A = this chain, B = another copy of it.
Amino acid sequence: MVTMVKKISHSSQVANHVTLDELFQVLKKNKLKLTPPRKLIVEALLENHGPFSAEDIQTKFIKKNCDLATVYRTLISLEEARIIRRCEFGDGIARYELIDPHHSHHHHHLICKECKTVEVIDACELENTVNKFAKKRGFTNVSHILEFFGTCPNCQA
Protein backbone atom coordinates (compact mmCIF):
# COMPACT_ATOMS: atom_id res chain seq x y z
CA MET A 1 0.00 0.00 0.00
CA VAL A 2 1.47 3.31 -1.04
CA THR A 3 0.74 6.61 0.61
CA MET A 4 0.19 9.90 -1.15
CA VAL A 5 3.43 11.85 -0.93
CA LYS A 6 2.93 15.53 -0.39
CA LYS A 7 5.32 18.25 0.64
CA ILE A 8 3.90 20.14 3.56
CA SER A 9 4.68 23.68 4.54
CA HIS A 10 5.87 23.30 8.08
CA SER A 11 5.53 26.68 9.71
CA SER A 12 7.62 25.85 12.75
CA GLN A 13 10.61 24.75 10.70
CA VAL A 14 13.24 27.35 11.37
CA ALA A 15 16.99 27.12 10.97
CA ASN A 16 19.24 24.82 12.98
CA HIS A 17 18.03 21.58 11.49
CA VAL A 18 19.63 18.18 11.90
CA THR A 19 22.13 17.42 9.21
CA LEU A 20 22.87 14.17 7.51
CA ASP A 21 26.26 14.02 9.18
CA GLU A 22 24.79 14.42 12.62
CA LEU A 23 22.43 11.55 11.94
CA PHE A 24 25.29 9.41 10.72
CA GLN A 25 27.07 10.11 13.99
CA VAL A 26 24.05 8.86 15.87
CA LEU A 27 24.16 5.68 13.83
CA LYS A 28 27.79 5.16 14.78
CA LYS A 29 27.10 5.81 18.44
CA ASN A 30 24.59 3.01 18.27
CA LYS A 31 27.12 0.66 16.75
CA LEU A 32 25.36 0.64 13.40
CA LYS A 33 27.61 0.50 10.36
CA LEU A 34 27.27 3.20 7.75
CA THR A 35 26.18 1.13 4.79
CA PRO A 36 24.76 2.38 1.49
CA PRO A 37 21.17 1.28 2.25
CA ARG A 38 21.21 3.01 5.63
CA LYS A 39 22.61 6.19 4.16
CA LEU A 40 19.93 6.23 1.49
CA ILE A 41 17.11 5.64 3.93
CA VAL A 42 18.24 8.21 6.48
CA GLU A 43 18.74 10.75 3.71
CA ALA A 44 15.29 10.04 2.30
CA LEU A 45 13.68 10.59 5.68
CA LEU A 46 15.65 13.76 6.27
CA GLU A 47 14.59 15.29 2.96
CA ASN A 48 10.97 14.23 2.97
CA HIS A 49 8.59 15.12 5.73
CA GLY A 50 5.79 12.95 6.97
CA PRO A 51 5.48 9.36 8.08
CA PHE A 52 6.20 6.91 5.28
CA SER A 53 5.78 3.17 4.93
CA ALA A 54 8.64 0.83 4.08
CA GLU A 55 7.21 0.50 0.60
CA ASP A 56 6.97 4.28 0.16
CA ILE A 57 10.60 4.61 1.10
CA GLN A 58 11.77 1.87 -1.20
CA THR A 59 9.81 2.76 -4.33
CA LYS A 60 9.54 6.53 -4.14
CA PHE A 61 12.71 7.67 -2.46
CA ILE A 62 15.50 5.21 -2.95
CA LYS A 63 14.29 3.79 -6.25
CA LYS A 64 14.73 0.15 -5.33
CA ASN A 65 18.42 0.62 -4.62
CA CYS A 66 18.03 -1.79 -1.77
CA ASP A 67 15.87 -4.73 -0.88
CA LEU A 68 12.52 -4.27 0.86
CA ALA A 69 13.62 -6.63 3.63
CA THR A 70 16.59 -4.38 4.25
CA VAL A 71 14.32 -1.36 4.46
CA TYR A 72 12.27 -3.12 7.15
CA ARG A 73 15.38 -4.15 9.05
CA THR A 74 16.85 -0.68 8.79
CA LEU A 75 13.67 0.98 10.03
CA ILE A 76 13.71 -1.25 13.10
CA SER A 77 17.34 -0.35 13.80
CA LEU A 78 16.71 3.35 13.29
CA GLU A 79 13.76 3.26 15.65
CA GLU A 80 15.86 1.54 18.31
CA ALA A 81 18.49 4.24 17.85
CA ARG A 82 15.69 6.81 18.33
CA ILE A 83 16.44 8.38 14.97
CA ILE A 84 12.95 7.76 13.70
CA ARG A 85 9.55 7.31 15.29
CA ARG A 86 6.84 4.84 14.36
CA CYS A 87 3.38 6.25 13.66
CA GLU A 88 0.08 4.46 13.68
CA PHE A 89 -2.60 5.25 11.11
CA GLY A 90 -4.80 2.35 12.07
CA ASP A 91 -4.63 0.63 8.69
CA GLY A 92 -2.16 -2.10 9.50
CA ILE A 93 0.77 -0.38 7.85
CA ALA A 94 3.75 0.88 9.85
CA ARG A 95 4.92 4.37 8.97
CA TYR A 96 8.00 6.20 10.20
CA GLU A 97 9.20 9.78 10.43
CA LEU A 98 12.46 11.41 11.42
CA ILE A 99 12.93 12.70 14.94
CA ASP A 100 14.78 15.97 14.74
CA PRO A 101 16.77 16.27 17.99
CA HIS A 102 16.92 20.04 17.51
CA HIS A 103 13.16 20.34 17.15
CA SER A 104 12.03 17.41 19.14
CA HIS A 105 8.69 18.97 19.97
CA HIS A 106 6.22 16.17 20.31
CA HIS A 107 3.55 16.45 17.65
CA HIS A 108 0.74 14.54 16.02
CA HIS A 109 -0.94 14.13 12.64
CA LEU A 110 -4.21 14.83 10.93
CA ILE A 111 -4.67 12.16 8.29
CA CYS A 112 -7.20 12.10 5.47
CA LYS A 113 -8.93 8.73 5.53
CA GLU A 114 -9.35 8.85 1.77
CA CYS A 115 -6.07 9.99 0.23
CA LYS A 116 -3.88 9.48 3.33
CA THR A 117 -2.46 12.97 3.07
CA VAL A 118 -0.81 13.95 6.33
CA GLU A 119 -0.82 17.32 8.08
CA VAL A 120 1.14 18.14 11.18
CA ILE A 121 -0.50 19.17 14.41
CA ASP A 122 2.08 21.04 16.43
CA ALA A 123 0.56 20.56 19.81
CA CYS A 124 0.26 18.01 22.49
CA GLU A 125 -1.55 18.95 25.64
CA LEU A 126 -1.44 15.45 26.96
CA GLU A 127 1.91 15.08 28.66
CA ASN A 128 0.67 16.04 32.11
CA THR A 129 -2.55 14.10 31.92
CA VAL A 130 -0.79 11.04 30.67
CA ASN A 131 1.88 11.00 33.32
CA LYS A 132 -0.69 11.59 36.04
CA PHE A 133 -2.78 8.60 35.05
CA ALA A 134 0.20 6.36 34.50
CA LYS A 135 1.87 7.16 37.80
CA LYS A 136 -1.35 6.64 39.68
CA ARG A 137 -1.43 3.07 38.41
CA GLY A 138 2.24 2.32 38.88
CA PHE A 139 3.06 2.24 35.18
CA THR A 140 6.53 3.29 34.11
CA ASN A 141 8.12 4.01 30.79
CA VAL A 142 4.98 5.66 29.48
CA SER A 143 4.28 6.76 25.94
CA HIS A 144 1.22 7.32 23.79
CA ILE A 145 -0.02 7.31 20.25
CA LEU A 146 -2.46 9.94 19.09
CA GLU A 147 -3.58 10.44 15.54
CA PHE A 148 -6.48 12.36 14.09
CA PHE A 149 -8.50 11.25 11.10
CA GLY A 150 -10.99 12.94 8.82
CA THR A 151 -11.83 13.80 5.25
CA CYS A 152 -9.67 16.53 3.75
CA PRO A 153 -11.15 19.39 1.68
CA ASN A 154 -9.97 17.81 -1.57
CA CYS A 155 -11.66 14.50 -0.90
CA GLN A 156 -15.01 15.97 0.11
CA ALA A 157 -16.23 15.62 -3.48
Contacts and interface: CB of A to CB of B under 8 A. Distances in A.
Interface in A139-157: 139-153, 156
A2 interface: no
Q: Is the interface of A mostly helix, strand, loop or mixed?
A: strand
Interface of A: 86, 88, 90, 92, 94, 110, 112-113, 119, 121, 123, 125-126, 129-130, 133-134, 137-153, 156
10 contacts: A86-B90, A90-B145, A92-B92, A110-B133, A121-B133, A125-B129, A139-B153, A143-B148, A145-B145, A145-B147
A149 B143 contact: yes
Contacts of A148: 130, 133-134, 142-144
